[in-house]
Amino acid sequence: MENSHVLIVGAGPTGLTAAVELARRGIIPVVIEKRKSASHLSRAVGILPRSMKLLGPSGAATAIRTEAITFRRAIFHTQSKQFANLPLDTHKDDNNRLYGMPQNRTEAHLRNAFKALGGKINYGAELLSLFQSDTGISASILGKAFRFDTVIGADGSDSVVREAMHIPFHGYELPEIWSIADVDAWGWKAPSAFQAYMLDKGGVVVVVPLAKNRYRVISNRPYALAALPVPSNITKLHRAANFAISVRQAETYQRGRVFLAGDAAHCHSPVGGRGMNLGIADAADLAERIATGTTDGYHSARHPVGRTTIKQSERARRIITSTHPVTRTLLRNFLRLVQHSPLLQRRFLKKVLDL
Ligand SMILES: Cc1cc2nc3c(=O)[nH]c(=O)nc-3n(C[C@H](O)[C@H](O)[C@H](O)COP(=O)(O)OP(=O)(O)OC[C@H]3O[C@@H](n4cnc5c(N)ncnc54)[C@H](O)[C@@H]3O)c2cc1C
Protein backbone atom coordinates (compact mmCIF):
# COMPACT_ATOMS: atom_id res chain seq x y z
CA MET A 1 0.00 0.00 0.00
CA GLU A 2 1.29 3.48 -0.90
CA ASN A 3 2.50 5.88 1.78
CA SER A 4 0.16 8.72 2.80
CA HIS A 5 -1.04 10.34 5.99
CA VAL A 6 -4.70 10.30 4.82
CA LEU A 7 -6.80 7.13 4.58
CA ILE A 8 -10.14 7.04 2.73
CA VAL A 9 -12.30 4.02 3.53
CA GLY A 10 -14.71 3.24 0.66
CA ALA A 11 -14.54 3.96 -3.09
CA GLY A 12 -18.18 4.95 -3.65
CA PRO A 13 -19.00 8.43 -4.99
CA THR A 14 -18.16 10.06 -1.63
CA GLY A 15 -14.76 8.41 -1.13
CA LEU A 16 -13.82 8.95 -4.78
CA THR A 17 -14.76 12.66 -4.66
CA ALA A 18 -12.67 13.12 -1.51
CA ALA A 19 -9.79 11.29 -3.22
CA VAL A 20 -9.97 13.45 -6.37
CA GLU A 21 -10.32 16.71 -4.43
CA LEU A 22 -7.37 15.87 -2.14
CA ALA A 23 -5.21 14.72 -5.06
CA ARG A 24 -5.98 17.95 -6.92
CA ARG A 25 -4.50 19.82 -3.95
CA GLY A 26 -1.35 17.68 -3.88
CA ILE A 27 -2.38 15.13 -1.21
CA ILE A 28 -2.62 11.64 -2.67
CA PRO A 29 -4.60 9.60 -0.10
CA VAL A 30 -4.63 5.84 0.45
CA VAL A 31 -8.05 4.64 -0.78
CA ILE A 32 -9.24 1.20 0.32
CA GLU A 33 -12.32 -0.60 -0.99
CA LYS A 34 -13.52 -3.96 0.30
CA ARG A 35 -15.05 -4.95 -3.04
CA LYS A 36 -12.78 -7.00 -5.28
CA SER A 37 -13.45 -4.59 -8.17
CA ALA A 38 -15.55 -1.54 -9.06
CA SER A 39 -19.30 -1.77 -8.39
CA HIS A 40 -21.70 -2.33 -11.33
CA LEU A 41 -24.76 -1.10 -9.41
CA SER A 42 -26.65 1.81 -10.96
CA ARG A 43 -28.12 3.17 -7.68
CA ALA A 44 -28.12 7.00 -7.84
CA VAL A 45 -29.17 8.58 -11.11
CA GLY A 46 -29.65 12.35 -10.77
CA ILE A 47 -26.57 14.60 -10.67
CA LEU A 48 -27.41 18.10 -9.47
CA PRO A 49 -25.83 21.35 -10.77
CA ARG A 50 -24.10 21.83 -7.40
CA SER A 51 -22.29 18.46 -7.79
CA MET A 52 -21.30 19.32 -11.36
CA LYS A 53 -19.79 22.60 -10.12
CA LEU A 54 -17.82 20.79 -7.41
CA LEU A 55 -16.56 18.21 -9.92
CA GLY A 56 -15.65 20.88 -12.50
CA PRO A 57 -12.03 21.66 -11.56
CA SER A 58 -10.93 17.99 -11.71
CA GLY A 59 -12.45 17.56 -15.19
CA ALA A 60 -14.86 14.87 -13.92
CA ALA A 61 -17.90 17.08 -14.64
CA THR A 62 -16.95 17.50 -18.31
CA ALA A 63 -16.55 13.75 -18.69
CA ILE A 64 -19.91 13.17 -16.97
CA ARG A 65 -21.64 15.78 -19.16
CA THR A 66 -20.48 14.12 -22.40
CA GLU A 67 -22.12 10.83 -21.39
CA ALA A 68 -25.07 11.83 -19.19
CA ILE A 69 -28.61 12.46 -20.35
CA THR A 70 -30.44 15.68 -19.51
CA PHE A 71 -33.83 15.40 -17.81
CA ARG A 72 -36.18 17.52 -19.91
CA ARG A 73 -39.53 17.26 -18.16
CA ALA A 74 -41.31 15.99 -15.04
CA ILE A 75 -44.68 14.39 -15.84
CA PHE A 76 -47.19 13.48 -13.14
CA HIS A 77 -50.09 11.03 -13.38
CA THR A 78 -52.91 9.70 -11.25
CA GLN A 79 -52.81 6.01 -12.13
CA SER A 80 -52.20 6.25 -15.91
CA LYS A 81 -53.88 9.65 -16.42
CA GLN A 82 -51.53 12.61 -16.83
CA PHE A 83 -52.35 15.72 -14.76
CA ALA A 84 -49.21 17.90 -14.97
CA ASN A 85 -46.23 18.25 -17.30
CA LEU A 86 -43.43 20.57 -16.13
CA PRO A 87 -40.21 21.56 -17.90
CA LEU A 88 -36.91 20.88 -16.14
CA ASP A 89 -34.53 22.44 -18.66
CA THR A 90 -35.59 26.08 -18.92
CA HIS A 91 -32.87 27.69 -16.79
CA LYS A 92 -30.83 30.27 -18.74
CA ASP A 93 -27.53 28.74 -17.64
CA ASP A 94 -26.72 25.40 -19.32
CA ASN A 95 -24.89 24.33 -16.17
CA ASN A 96 -28.15 24.43 -14.24
CA ARG A 97 -29.54 21.23 -15.72
CA LEU A 98 -30.41 17.96 -14.04
CA TYR A 99 -28.14 15.30 -15.51
CA GLY A 100 -28.74 11.59 -15.17
CA MET A 101 -26.66 8.46 -15.50
CA PRO A 102 -26.16 5.23 -13.56
CA GLN A 103 -24.04 5.66 -10.42
CA ASN A 104 -21.41 3.14 -11.58
CA ARG A 105 -20.68 5.41 -14.58
CA THR A 106 -20.37 8.50 -12.35
CA GLU A 107 -17.94 6.50 -10.20
CA ALA A 108 -15.98 5.46 -13.33
CA HIS A 109 -15.42 9.13 -14.25
CA LEU A 110 -14.30 9.93 -10.71
CA ARG A 111 -11.91 6.96 -10.74
CA ASN A 112 -10.43 8.15 -14.05
CA ALA A 113 -9.92 11.65 -12.62
CA PHE A 114 -8.20 10.20 -9.53
CA LYS A 115 -5.94 7.98 -11.64
CA ALA A 116 -5.03 10.92 -13.89
CA LEU A 117 -3.91 12.79 -10.75
CA GLY A 118 -1.65 9.88 -9.75
CA GLY A 119 -3.98 8.04 -7.39
CA LYS A 120 -4.80 4.33 -7.10
CA ILE A 121 -7.62 2.38 -5.48
CA ASN A 122 -6.76 -0.64 -3.36
CA TYR A 123 -9.51 -3.18 -4.09
CA GLY A 124 -10.11 -6.21 -1.87
CA ALA A 125 -8.81 -4.17 1.07
CA GLU A 126 -11.33 -4.15 3.93
CA LEU A 127 -10.96 -2.01 7.02
CA LEU A 128 -11.51 -4.36 9.97
CA SER A 129 -10.94 -2.01 12.88
CA LEU A 130 -9.78 1.48 13.72
CA PHE A 131 -8.17 2.81 16.88
CA GLN A 132 -7.43 6.47 17.59
CA SER A 133 -4.93 7.68 20.22
CA ASP A 134 -3.03 10.91 20.95
CA THR A 135 -0.26 9.84 18.55
CA GLY A 136 -2.40 8.99 15.52
CA ILE A 137 -4.81 6.43 14.11
CA SER A 138 -4.14 2.75 13.67
CA ALA A 139 -6.15 0.94 10.97
CA SER A 140 -6.27 -2.82 10.58
CA ILE A 141 -6.37 -3.62 6.84
CA LEU A 142 -5.75 -7.04 5.29
CA GLY A 143 -4.57 -8.35 8.66
CA LYS A 144 -1.89 -5.66 9.06
CA ALA A 145 -1.83 -2.45 11.12
CA PHE A 146 -1.20 0.86 9.29
CA ARG A 147 -0.85 4.34 10.83
CA PHE A 148 -2.51 7.49 9.53
CA ASP A 149 -2.98 11.08 10.74
CA THR A 150 -6.44 11.49 9.20
CA VAL A 151 -9.19 9.00 8.25
CA ILE A 152 -12.28 9.65 6.11
CA GLY A 153 -15.08 7.15 6.67
CA ALA A 154 -16.85 7.05 3.29
CA ASP A 155 -17.85 3.45 3.85
CA GLY A 156 -21.61 3.72 3.44
CA SER A 157 -24.56 3.35 5.79
CA ASP A 158 -23.13 0.30 7.65
CA SER A 159 -19.91 2.25 8.27
CA VAL A 160 -17.21 0.35 10.20
CA VAL A 161 -15.48 3.70 10.79
CA ARG A 162 -18.60 5.11 12.49
CA GLU A 163 -18.98 1.97 14.61
CA ALA A 164 -15.29 1.97 15.61
CA MET A 165 -15.62 5.60 16.76
CA HIS A 166 -18.81 4.73 18.71
CA ILE A 167 -20.77 7.47 16.93
CA PRO A 168 -24.55 6.98 17.33
CA PHE A 169 -26.58 6.84 14.08
CA HIS A 170 -29.95 8.23 15.18
CA GLY A 171 -33.13 7.66 13.17
CA TYR A 172 -35.63 5.04 12.12
CA GLU A 173 -36.51 2.45 9.48
CA LEU A 174 -39.44 3.01 7.10
CA PRO A 175 -42.04 0.26 7.54
CA GLU A 176 -42.73 -0.32 3.85
CA ILE A 177 -40.60 -2.24 1.34
CA TRP A 178 -39.45 -0.25 -1.71
CA SER A 179 -38.40 -1.76 -5.03
CA ILE A 180 -36.44 -0.94 -8.17
CA ALA A 181 -36.08 -2.43 -11.61
CA ASP A 182 -33.58 -1.33 -14.26
CA VAL A 183 -34.84 -2.19 -17.73
CA ASP A 184 -34.31 -1.67 -21.44
CA ALA A 185 -37.57 -0.66 -23.11
CA TRP A 186 -38.52 0.75 -26.50
CA GLY A 187 -41.21 3.18 -27.58
CA TRP A 188 -41.44 4.73 -24.11
CA LYS A 189 -43.50 7.94 -24.18
CA ALA A 190 -41.36 11.05 -23.39
CA PRO A 191 -38.02 9.16 -23.09
CA SER A 192 -36.13 12.04 -21.42
CA ALA A 193 -38.82 12.78 -18.84
CA PHE A 194 -38.99 11.84 -15.21
CA GLN A 195 -42.50 10.33 -14.79
CA ALA A 196 -44.37 9.84 -11.52
CA TYR A 197 -47.54 7.72 -11.19
CA MET A 198 -49.64 8.19 -8.07
CA LEU A 199 -51.49 4.99 -7.22
CA ASP A 200 -54.22 4.36 -4.68
CA LYS A 201 -53.48 3.88 -0.94
CA GLY A 202 -50.37 6.10 -1.05
CA GLY A 203 -48.59 4.04 -3.68
CA VAL A 204 -46.20 5.71 -6.11
CA VAL A 205 -44.14 4.49 -9.07
CA VAL A 206 -41.48 6.65 -10.70
CA VAL A 207 -39.80 6.05 -14.07
CA VAL A 208 -36.41 7.72 -14.51
CA PRO A 209 -34.42 7.59 -17.76
CA LEU A 210 -30.90 6.17 -17.22
CA ALA A 211 -29.56 6.19 -20.78
CA LYS A 212 -30.97 5.78 -24.31
CA ASN A 213 -33.80 3.18 -24.09
CA ARG A 214 -32.81 2.34 -20.50
CA TYR A 215 -34.99 3.20 -17.49
CA ARG A 216 -35.15 2.90 -13.72
CA VAL A 217 -38.56 2.02 -12.28
CA ILE A 218 -38.81 2.67 -8.55
CA SER A 219 -41.77 2.25 -6.22
CA ASN A 220 -42.72 2.34 -2.56
CA ARG A 221 -44.39 -1.02 -3.20
CA PRO A 222 -42.67 -4.35 -3.74
CA TYR A 223 -42.06 -5.38 -7.39
CA ALA A 224 -41.87 -1.97 -9.10
CA LEU A 225 -42.68 -3.33 -12.58
CA ALA A 226 -45.87 -4.98 -11.38
CA ALA A 227 -46.95 -1.68 -9.79
CA LEU A 228 -46.45 0.33 -13.03
CA PRO A 229 -49.99 1.31 -14.20
CA VAL A 230 -49.08 1.68 -17.91
CA PRO A 231 -47.91 -0.87 -20.48
CA SER A 232 -44.14 -1.06 -20.99
CA ASN A 233 -42.29 -2.70 -23.88
CA ILE A 234 -39.47 -4.19 -21.85
CA THR A 235 -36.77 -5.92 -23.88
CA LYS A 236 -34.35 -6.66 -21.05
CA LEU A 237 -34.47 -6.71 -17.27
CA HIS A 238 -31.03 -5.70 -15.95
CA ARG A 239 -31.86 -5.85 -12.28
CA ALA A 240 -34.85 -5.99 -9.93
CA ALA A 241 -34.70 -5.76 -6.16
CA ASN A 242 -36.76 -4.95 -3.11
CA PHE A 243 -35.14 -2.91 -0.35
CA ALA A 244 -35.80 -1.37 3.05
CA ILE A 245 -34.99 2.27 3.80
CA SER A 246 -33.34 3.78 6.87
CA VAL A 247 -33.62 7.45 7.70
CA ARG A 248 -30.65 8.27 9.94
CA GLN A 249 -27.95 10.78 10.71
CA ALA A 250 -24.70 10.39 12.65
CA GLU A 251 -24.64 12.37 15.89
CA THR A 252 -21.30 13.88 14.93
CA TYR A 253 -19.33 13.89 11.66
CA GLN A 254 -15.99 14.16 13.48
CA ARG A 255 -14.18 12.33 16.26
CA GLY A 256 -10.65 13.73 16.62
CA ARG A 257 -8.98 13.20 13.23
CA VAL A 258 -11.61 10.73 12.01
CA PHE A 259 -14.39 12.12 9.76
CA LEU A 260 -17.61 10.74 8.33
CA ALA A 261 -18.97 11.67 4.91
CA GLY A 262 -21.76 10.49 2.58
CA ASP A 263 -24.02 7.60 3.58
CA ALA A 264 -21.73 6.84 6.53
CA ALA A 265 -22.97 10.14 7.96
CA HIS A 266 -26.58 10.20 6.72
CA CYS A 267 -29.14 8.16 4.81
CA HIS A 268 -32.73 8.71 3.71
CA SER A 269 -35.23 7.66 1.04
CA PRO A 270 -34.43 8.22 -2.66
CA VAL A 271 -37.22 10.84 -2.84
CA GLY A 272 -35.62 14.04 -4.12
CA GLY A 273 -32.53 12.18 -5.38
CA ARG A 274 -30.23 13.87 -2.88
CA GLY A 275 -28.14 11.04 -1.29
CA MET A 276 -25.18 10.82 -3.66
CA ASN A 277 -25.14 14.58 -4.23
CA LEU A 278 -24.99 15.24 -0.48
CA GLY A 279 -22.05 12.81 -0.19
CA ILE A 280 -20.19 14.56 -3.03
CA ALA A 281 -20.68 17.91 -1.28
CA ASP A 282 -19.49 16.52 2.11
CA ALA A 283 -16.41 15.05 0.44
CA ALA A 284 -15.48 18.22 -1.46
CA ASP A 285 -15.87 20.34 1.68
CA LEU A 286 -13.83 17.92 3.82
CA ALA A 287 -11.02 17.61 1.25
CA GLU A 288 -10.64 21.38 1.11
CA ARG A 289 -10.58 21.58 4.90
CA ILE A 290 -7.94 18.83 5.19
CA ALA A 291 -5.77 20.62 2.61
CA THR A 292 -6.16 24.01 4.33
CA GLY A 293 -6.02 22.82 7.96
CA THR A 294 -9.56 23.94 8.80
CA THR A 295 -11.15 20.58 9.62
CA ASP A 296 -12.56 21.75 12.95
CA GLY A 297 -15.40 23.52 11.10
CA TYR A 298 -16.41 20.37 9.17
CA HIS A 299 -19.10 19.05 11.53
CA SER A 300 -20.73 22.45 12.06
CA ALA A 301 -20.72 23.16 8.31
CA ARG A 302 -22.04 19.82 7.04
CA HIS A 303 -24.25 18.39 9.84
CA PRO A 304 -26.97 21.07 9.47
CA VAL A 305 -26.98 20.59 5.65
CA GLY A 306 -27.52 16.85 6.17
CA ARG A 307 -30.27 17.49 8.73
CA THR A 308 -32.11 19.89 6.41
CA THR A 309 -31.80 17.51 3.43
CA ILE A 310 -33.21 14.62 5.45
CA LYS A 311 -36.09 16.81 6.67
CA GLN A 312 -36.93 17.97 3.14
CA SER A 313 -36.67 14.48 1.65
CA GLU A 314 -38.92 13.10 4.40
CA ARG A 315 -41.46 15.91 3.94
CA ALA A 316 -41.59 15.23 0.19
CA ARG A 317 -41.84 11.47 0.78
CA ARG A 318 -44.75 11.92 3.22
CA ILE A 319 -46.61 14.15 0.77
CA ILE A 320 -46.21 11.97 -2.34
CA THR A 321 -47.02 8.76 -0.43
CA SER A 322 -49.86 10.25 1.62
CA THR A 323 -53.03 8.19 1.80
CA HIS A 324 -55.06 11.26 2.79
CA PRO A 325 -57.38 12.34 -0.06
CA VAL A 326 -57.05 16.04 0.83
CA THR A 327 -53.23 15.94 0.70
CA ARG A 328 -53.32 14.12 -2.63
CA THR A 329 -55.82 16.58 -4.12
CA LEU A 330 -53.77 19.54 -2.86
CA LEU A 331 -50.61 18.06 -4.42
CA ARG A 332 -52.35 17.54 -7.76
CA ASN A 333 -53.80 21.06 -7.72
CA PHE A 334 -50.45 22.57 -6.75
CA LEU A 335 -48.61 20.82 -9.62
CA ARG A 336 -51.34 21.87 -12.10
CA LEU A 337 -50.93 25.46 -10.88
CA VAL A 338 -47.14 25.24 -11.36
CA GLN A 339 -47.72 24.02 -14.91
CA HIS A 340 -49.59 27.22 -15.74
CA SER A 341 -47.42 29.76 -13.91
CA PRO A 342 -43.90 30.68 -15.15
CA LEU A 343 -43.11 32.21 -11.75
CA LEU A 344 -44.06 29.02 -9.88
CA GLN A 345 -42.17 26.96 -12.47
CA ARG A 346 -38.98 28.94 -11.74
CA ARG A 347 -39.47 28.36 -7.99
CA PHE A 348 -40.24 24.65 -8.54
CA LEU A 349 -37.09 24.26 -10.66
CA LYS A 350 -34.98 26.05 -8.04
CA LYS A 351 -36.21 23.58 -5.42
CA VAL A 352 -35.81 20.45 -7.59
CA LEU A 353 -32.34 21.46 -8.82
CA ASP A 354 -31.27 22.71 -5.37
CA LEU A 355 -30.07 26.02 -6.87
C1 LIG B 1 -32.15 2.28 -5.26
C2 LIG B 1 -31.41 3.51 -4.90
C3 LIG B 1 -31.60 4.66 -5.67
C4 LIG B 1 -30.91 5.81 -5.36
N5 LIG B 1 -31.11 6.92 -6.13
C6 LIG B 1 -30.42 8.06 -5.85
C7 LIG B 1 -30.53 9.23 -6.69
O8 LIG B 1 -31.23 9.25 -7.72
N9 LIG B 1 -29.80 10.32 -6.36
C10 LIG B 1 -28.95 10.34 -5.28
O11 LIG B 1 -28.30 11.38 -5.04
N12 LIG B 1 -28.81 9.25 -4.46
C13 LIG B 1 -29.52 8.11 -4.73
N14 LIG B 1 -29.33 7.00 -3.95
C15 LIG B 1 -28.41 7.05 -2.82
C16 LIG B 1 -26.96 6.86 -3.27
O17 LIG B 1 -26.82 5.65 -3.97
C18 LIG B 1 -26.05 6.87 -2.04
O19 LIG B 1 -26.35 8.03 -1.29
C20 LIG B 1 -24.59 6.89 -2.45
O21 LIG B 1 -24.20 5.67 -3.02
C22 LIG B 1 -23.71 7.12 -1.22
O23 LIG B 1 -22.37 7.09 -1.62
P24 LIG B 1 -21.24 6.74 -0.56
O25 LIG B 1 -19.96 6.77 -1.33
O26 LIG B 1 -21.37 7.62 0.63
O27 LIG B 1 -21.56 5.26 -0.06
P28 LIG B 1 -21.59 3.91 -0.91
O29 LIG B 1 -21.98 4.18 -2.30
O30 LIG B 1 -22.38 2.95 -0.09
O31 LIG B 1 -20.06 3.46 -0.94
C32 LIG B 1 -19.41 2.96 0.21
C33 LIG B 1 -18.25 2.08 -0.24
O34 LIG B 1 -17.51 1.69 0.90
C35 LIG B 1 -17.14 0.32 0.78
N36 LIG B 1 -16.91 -0.21 2.12
C37 LIG B 1 -17.85 -0.44 3.08
N38 LIG B 1 -17.25 -0.92 4.20
C39 LIG B 1 -15.91 -0.98 3.95
C40 LIG B 1 -14.78 -1.40 4.73
N41 LIG B 1 -14.90 -1.83 5.99
N42 LIG B 1 -13.54 -1.36 4.14
C43 LIG B 1 -13.40 -0.92 2.85
N44 LIG B 1 -14.45 -0.52 2.08
C45 LIG B 1 -15.69 -0.54 2.62
C46 LIG B 1 -18.35 -0.30 0.07
O47 LIG B 1 -18.00 -1.52 -0.57
C48 LIG B 1 -18.75 0.80 -0.91
O49 LIG B 1 -18.11 0.65 -2.16
C50 LIG B 1 -30.01 5.83 -4.24
C51 LIG B 1 -29.82 4.67 -3.50
C52 LIG B 1 -30.50 3.52 -3.82
C53 LIG B 1 -30.29 2.28 -2.99
Residue 239 falls inside a structural domain: yes
Instruction: Mark whether 313 and 330 lie in a shared domain.
Output: no
Output the domain CATH number for residue 283. Answer: 3.50.50.60
Range of the domain at 218: 178-244+324-352
User: In the chain, what percentage of residues exceed pLDDT 70?
Assistant: 99
Q: Report CA(190)–ligand 1 centroid distance (Å).
A: 29
Residue 58 falls inside a structural domain: no
Q: Report CA(135)–ligand 1 centroid distance (Å).
A: 31
Atom number in ligand 1 closest to CA 180: 1
Atom number in ligand 1 closest to CA 274: 11
Pocket (CB within 6 angstroms of ligand 1): 9-15, 32-35, 39, 43-46, 103, 126-127, 154-156, 160, 180, 262-263, 270, 273-277, 279
| pLDDT score at 3 | 67
* Alpha carbon distance, N-terminus to C-terminus of the chain: 40
SS3 293: coil
Q: Report CA(189)–ligand 1 centroid distance (Å).
A: 30
Nearest protein CA to atom 53 of ligand 1, as residue = 43
- What is the number of other CB atoms lying within 10 angstroms of the CB of residue 76? 22
Residue 50 falls inside a structural domain: no
Nearest protein CA to atom 5 of ligand 1, as residue = 44
Q: Report CA(227)–ligand 1 centroid distance (Å).
A: 26
pLDDT at 1 over 70: no
96-149 pLDDT per residue, tens: 899 999 999 999 999 999 999 999 999 999 999 999 999 899 999 988 999 999
Q: Report CA(12)–ligand 1 centroid distance (Å).
A: 6
Instruction: Mark whether 218 and 202 lie in a shared domain.
Output: yes
| pLDDT score at 337 | 95
Instruction: Mark whether 137 and 31 lie in a shared domain.
Output: yes
Instruction: Mark whether 284 and 164 lie in a shared domain.
Output: yes
CA distances (Å), origin 323, targets 49, 68, 115, 200, 343: 33, 35, 49, 8, 29
Q: Report CA(295)–ligand 1 centroid distance (Å).
A: 23
Pocket probe for ligand 1: among 103, 141, 282, 285, the residue whose CB has the most ligand atoms within 8 Å is: 103
Are residues 134 and 127 in contact, defined by beta-carbon separation less than 8 angstroms?
Answer: no
Pocket probe for ligand 1: among 55, 106, 155, the residue whose CB has the most ligand atoms within 8 Å is: 155
Nearest protein CA to atom 37 of ligand 1, as residue = 155
HEC string of 11-43 equals CCHHHHHHHHHHHCCCCCCEEEECCCCCCCCCC
Instruction: Mark whether 32 and 132 lie in a shared domain.
Output: yes
* Segment 55-65 mean pLDDT: 96
User: In the chain, what percentage of residues exceed pLDDT 90?
Assistant: 86
Which among 273, 336, 353 is positioned nearest to 77, based on CA atoms?
336
Nearest protein CA to atom 29 of ligand 1, as residue = 12
Instruction: Mark whether 265 and 300 lie in a shared domain.
Output: yes
SS3 216: strand
Instruction: Mark whether 308 and 262 lie in a shared domain.
Output: yes
Q: Report CA(263)–ligand 1 centroid distance (Å).
A: 6
pTM metric for this prediction? 0.95
Q: Domain total for the chain?
A: 2
Task: Between 344 and 95, name the one with better pLDDT.
Answer: 344
238-296 pLDDT per residue, tens: 999 999 999 999 999 999 999 999 999 999 999 988 999 999 999 999 999 999 999 99
Instruction: Mark whether 25 and 119 lie in a shared domain.
Output: yes
Atom number in ligand 1 closest to CA 13: 25
Output the domain CATH number for residue 222. Answer: 3.30.70
Q: Report CA(110)–ligand 1 centroid distance (Å).
A: 14
Instruction: Mark whether 217 and 111 lie in a shared domain.
Output: no
pLDDT at 229 over 90: yes
Which among 47, 71, 46 is positioned nearest to 61, based on CA atoms?
47
HEC string of 182-199 equals EEEECCCCCCCEEEEEEC
Pocket probe for ligand 1: among 263, 278, 305, the residue whose CB has the most ligand atoms within 8 Å is: 263
Q: What is the pLDDT confidence band of residue 355, given thresholds at 50, 70 and 90?
A: confident
How many Å is the maximal CA-CA distance in the chain?
Answer: 64
- CA quadruple 105, 101, 281, 124: dihedral positive or negative? negative
Atom number in ligand 1 closest to CA 178: 1
322-341 pLDDT per residue, tens: 999 999 999 999 999 999 99
Residue 60 falls inside a structural domain: no
Instruction: Mark whether 190 and 311 lie in a shared domain.
Output: no
Q: Report CA(346)–ligand 1 centroid distance (Å).
A: 31
